[in-house]
Amino acid sequence: MKVYTVTTQSKYDYDFSVVTLKHGAFFNKENALKQLLQEIKKFKTQHKDDKKEYTNKEYYQDEEYGAWTECMDLAHGYWCVDFGFEERHECHQICIDEFDLSVK
């Protein structure tokens, strides 16, 4: 039997902390994917001001200068965003982890 968990990990460079949040466990990968998409939507709503700031090409031309950079791979249940630099650098990822609970 397989179980799928949805997890958020956030790394903040100003204090070198990593925050891990679990958003549930699911027996069906489709339900885990729905939860993943809900968490992405929630994250983007909570960080809309950051996105507005770090997508401004006048100040943040590319990733090297702290621009908002997203990557998503729904086939593997993975989304991440990286933005800011030096003490304001943040990196967040939301992913689905698969666990096989079969007894052998």
pLDDT in tens, 62-77: 887 789 999 999 999 9
CA distance 100 to 9: 22
Positions of the chain with pLDDT under 50: none
Q: What is the DSSP string of 8-47?
A: EEEEETTTTEEEEEEEEEESSHHHHHHHHHHHHHHHHHHT
Q: Give the residues across from 19 on adjacent strands.
A: 10
CB 82 within 8 A of CB 90: yes
**What are 51-63's pLDDT values in tens digits?**
999 999 888 888 8
Place of tokens 């006048």: 58
Within a 13 Å sphere around the CA of 10, how many CA atoms are in the beta-carbon half?
Answer: 14
Q: What sign does the dihedral 46-19-23-28 (CA atoms) show?
A: positive
pTM here?
A: 0.87
Measured at the alpha carbon of residue 19, what is the angle toward residues 101 and 60, in degrees to the nearest 5?
Answer: 120
